[in-house]
C-alpha cells in the first residue's frame, strides 16, 4: 500500500521538554522522506474536536528543537468522549467524538500521530475504534508509561530536579536543617528515586513503598550522631505513610485526571518536627519540572521517536506506539499501554542501588 499523503499531529496531556523536538522530527521526516502534508491540531484533542489547526511545514518546524513546551499547545481536559462545555454557568459533558472524526475526515487525513502519556493513549485507543488510524509517541516527565524503558521529557525533568537538590544541599548544610524536596511523578516514583540518587538525597520516599515516619526520623538522628547535622529528603507527590493516604491538593472537574496530588512534603516536614524537633523546610518543585529547554538526551530520544513514528505511518502500521527497549526502537500496541501506569518494580536495580549506598527509603 502507498504511504499516506496527508496526516495530522497533536500533543496531549501535560507539556514537557522535547515536544517541539518530536514535532520537528515528524514534520521534517514525513516531508523529506515521504512527501506528506501535515496538519497540526492545537491544544491537544480540543483542536481535533473544535477544528483548531495550523498547517505545518519545514519552515515553521525549524528552529524549535531546543524550545520547551509545544508550538501546538496542549490540554489534559479535552477528552472527546467526555468533552466539557460551560452551559448556564454549569459544566456539562458530552460525547464529541463524532466531531473529532468529522474534523479528521474534513481535512482529508489518512493518519494521526498522537504524542502523550497514558491518558492520551487511552483516548487514542478509543479513536482507533472509530476508525481513525493512529500512531502514538510516548511522552511524560513521570516516566510511568508501560512498554517503553523511558519516555522523552523524563531526562530533562530529572536534570532540573537534580540541580535543585544540588542547590538545596548548601543551605541545608549551612543551617543544619532537614530540607524536604517534593517532585512530581503521580503514582510512580521514578523521578523522586532517580533525582534522589543523582542528587545524593539521604532519604527518598516513593509511592511504591509506603513509608514509616519513625524510620525516617531514625535515619535523620543517625546522621546527626555521625556528625551530619543536615539531611536531604526527596519525596514523590504520590508517596504515603503506611496505612495512610496520598495527599490530594485539589480535584479538577472535567479533567480525565481529576485528582491533583501535592503537599505530601508538608505532612512529612510537620511530622519530623513534631517527633524529633528538627527544623525542617519544604521546597515543592512542581511545574518547574515541566519547563525549560530539553536536555540533549531528550532531544535525541524525541527525534528518534519522531522519525520512527513517521516510518510507521508510511508503512500504515497503525494502532501502534513507538517505544524504546534497550537501545532499539520498537512498536507496541496502543491498547497495551492505554490508561496503564508503569511503577517501580520491587526488584528494580535503582532500589538495590539506593539501599547499597545507605539511602533511607522509609522502610
The C-alpha torsion from 361 through 231 and 350 to 210, rounded to 10°, is 20
- Measure the CA–CA gap between 119 and 117, rounded to whole angstroms: 6
> Which one is catalytic: 43, 142, 155, 298?
142
Over 107-154, what HEC string results?
CCCCEEEEEECHHHHHHHHHHHCCCCCEEEEEECCCCCCCCCCCCECH
Cell of 350: 535503582
Element (H, E) at 7: strand 6-11
Cell of 233: 529528603
Cell of 168: 538545596
Residue 142 a catalytic site member: yes
Smallest CA-to-CA distance from 152 within 24, 335, 44, 333 is with 24
Q: How far is residue 84 from each of residues 9, 52, 96, 201, measured CA to CA in Å?
A: 22, 16, 9, 42
Catalytic residues: 142
Amino acid at each position: 500500500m502507498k504511504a499516506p499523503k496527508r496526516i495530522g499531529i497533536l500533543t496531549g496531556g501535560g507539556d514537557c521538554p522535547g515536544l517541539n523536538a518530536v514535532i520537528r522530527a515528524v514534520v521534517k521526516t514525513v516531508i523529506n522522506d515521504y512527501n506528506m502534508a501535515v496538519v497540526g491540531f492545537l491544544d491537544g484533542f480540543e483542536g481535533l474536536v473544535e477544528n483548531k489547526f495550523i498547517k505545518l511545514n519545514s519552515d515553521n518546524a525549524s528552529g524549535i528543537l531546543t524550545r520547551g513546551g509545544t508550538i501546538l499547545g496542549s490540554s489534559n481536559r479535552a477528552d472527546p468522549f467526555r468533552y466539557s462545555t460551560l452551559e448556564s454557568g454549569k459544566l456539562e459533558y458530552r460525547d464529541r467524538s463524532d466531531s473529532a472524526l468529522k474534523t479528521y475526515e474534513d481535512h482529508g487525513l489518512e493518519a494521526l500521530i498522537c504524542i502523550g502519556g497514558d491518558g492520551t493513549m487511552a483516548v487514542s485507543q478509543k479513536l482507533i475504534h472509530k476508525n481513525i488510524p493512529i500512531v502514538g509517541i510516548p511522552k511524560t516527565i513521570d516516566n510511568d508509561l508501560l512498554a517503553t524503558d523511558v519516555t522523552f521529557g523524563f531526562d530533562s525533568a530529572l536534570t532540573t530536579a537534580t540541580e535543585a537538590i544540588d542547590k538545596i544541599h548548601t543551605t541545608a548544610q549551612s543551617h543544619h536543617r532537614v530540607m524536604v524536596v517534593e517532585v512530581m511523578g503521580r503514582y510512580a516514583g521514578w523521578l523522586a528515586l532517580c533525582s534522589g540518587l543523582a542528587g545524593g538525597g539521604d532519604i527518598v520516599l516513593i509511592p511504591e513503598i509506603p513509608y514509616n515516619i519513625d524510620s525516617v526520623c531514625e535515619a535523620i538522628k543517625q546522621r546527626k550522631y555521625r556528625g551530619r547535622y543536615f539531611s536531604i529528603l526527596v519525596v514523590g507527590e504520590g508517596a504515603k505513610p503506611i496505612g495512610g493516604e496520598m495527599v490530594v491538593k485539589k480535584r479538577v472537574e472535567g479533567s480525565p485526571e481529576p485528582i491533583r496530588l501535592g503537599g505530601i512534603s508538608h505532612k512529612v516536614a510537620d511530622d519530623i518536627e513534631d517527633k524529633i524537633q528538627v527544623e525542617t523546610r519544604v521546597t515543592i518543585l512542581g511545574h518547574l519540572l515541566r519547563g525549560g529547554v530539553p536536555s540533549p538526551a531528550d532531544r535525541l530520544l524525541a527525534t528518534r521517536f519522531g522519525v520512527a513514528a513517521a516510518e510507521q505511518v508510511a508503512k500504515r502500521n497503525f494502532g501502534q506506539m513507538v517505544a524504546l527497549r534497550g537501545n532499539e526502537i520498537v512498536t507496541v500496541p496502543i491498547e497495551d499501554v492505554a490508561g496503564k501506569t508503569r511503577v517501580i518494580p520491587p526488584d528494580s536495580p535503582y532500589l538495590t542501588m539506593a539501599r547499597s549506598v545507605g539511602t533511607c527509603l522509609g522502610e
